[in-house]
Chain A
């Protein structure tokens, strides 16, 4: 409230004294009217103007003005006024004049006769032509928070001078006005907070929609994301490519909150859009890095792992841009961490050499791959206890039959359920190459289900020296396999021809006349098709040069490749594995 000042005419706060009961009734009525004005839904400015009018009229002054202290406390500005001179918008220094005096000392003041007061600033009068005789001023403040002051000029009638009763009255009214301003400000803040909260929730909803749908229970890649705040700087994504492989991404934007979330949305969108056509993780990250570097602000960066998983072969190719090492768990339970060999995205395009981000190839061979943000390993599972990398390994070891979904659930429950706010966004994706392993064993109860799954059952694995005199052996093995899978004699003949021609291409083109190496043939049976992958271990062949022959040109050469394309439903030269060699994938559908 209003503090006391030693020297008269400064008056301490309190109720108006020495006022007749009828007057008290009128005071209360005025306060009630003002209260109603402030409670109405009008603009604060309109209400303040109305309040100044009422107060000026009630105290019977010639003019009244309401000054508000600027948020920085440097300036007083007239927000509303009544009287012969319009001074709305007038600005004063926070300690200027009688108003400044009252605001600074948080005390009311009466200057009965300005001509005798040294604090009176005559500059406003000289500008406006108004003749100030007497001033009454009371601060608006609530619990020490200074809001401004109301100033009245010249008592109407008589000698034109105010008395102490007038000051008491103005102090009470100013306090009410101050409280109303504060309430209005708090209400506006609440509305703003609510709006920001709603916007954040909308942003979070859009973010969640950027994450892939994981409802398909037999999909080999799964993920989980727990934002530490409403929105997250982490993200993950996975989607099938048109060649049957699966692209996956997990990233962590530096920082948390809205700026990280926006950066996340941009990076995730770039990767998803470009990732469908650029199937080389290293080259993709190089492009995205250039884009992120061009537009990244405030030193933000993204650590990220992007890769492609081939359910047919169990191979994963990935590129790691400065992210936590992904964890490979082989089928015997041994762990290998894949360390990053390149800096995060958004640091500098110059740090990446010409070949792009380095790629790593991993043969999962029935094992699992876990990629996660540090929010997982540094997440608290109880008061002050981090899960840690060993804790994560334990979760994986103990997941048993619940598989990767079990690990994801455990991470979510342990860290998300530990109580208290999350320290950081928690994100984890996992790839399970184990389905293929299950189907190898005929006595396994999963065999039936696995045979119809996406991976298919491996029915033949053959590795022979790449020599012409081994082709008969290959043909016989492929023939028996095709018949075993249920193909007709005619289709079996076609498949044998295609595989034989594929092996010829290896012998003649991949290894050439001098080189010597092996050919590996793997055949899987799916519910709808048989898939043959022919692999050699020679230098990569320029795929663009292997074309079906021009049929008008009778020279031999491309005829073998033409025959393969004629008889098989799908023929794809897959990108070469990291340890060299070439992969040719042939698909023959049942009943085609």
Chain B
């Protein structure tokens, strides 16, 4: 099992008259970890709901493993969307929830789920409504991991967890993914925490696809240049500088756009430090500019 491929073409969805998604054409290759980023209201949850066949697209095509997922049971039972709300039987014990999942998810690994519950110190006799926010996030994460669905999507699932629990979740996700490869979609506002786990990055903005590509390629879309102010200024002349920070005589400039590798090599040979732009900065820059252009 290497996971399901996702393909959408000109996908659109409106809530009444309000468009939530417009003309989304997207490919997510099977067996990889994909990042889905966007500001609040960008359409991430709506898109994932369509892939999980919780909603039907108003326009365009959606293919999960080559099939239309809507009301398609063989696809639906192998697509797992974990939302912060949990989608659980709230007045049944966690262990009863596991029984239910075991029946609903063909690849569900109960022993694995139970060992994770021990790791996260979740009492199987408790009911979901009695859990703290962090605990219910953890239970959601466990359900997503143990379901081993060929398409598994985590929608901000780790927001309720504290930092140590999040790190445990990331470690477990990576180990699980290495041992049982599948298609994973991670949606999060905590970009810097997940950045290096992502193989591709897709950014939605105001219901539209802003970009989708390999994480490694995004890295080369920008750079930070650090060194003596005059030298930095000389090297960034003519480039799109989106931010500068000064510390005494030292300046750090962040540039975006197609960068000339030989120009960067020249900067290095003149003693400037050339660094990567964190994905978070790139994201903020891209989604900010777009707002300005629209308004």
Q: A and B, one complex?
A: no
Binding site for B on A (CB under 8 A): none
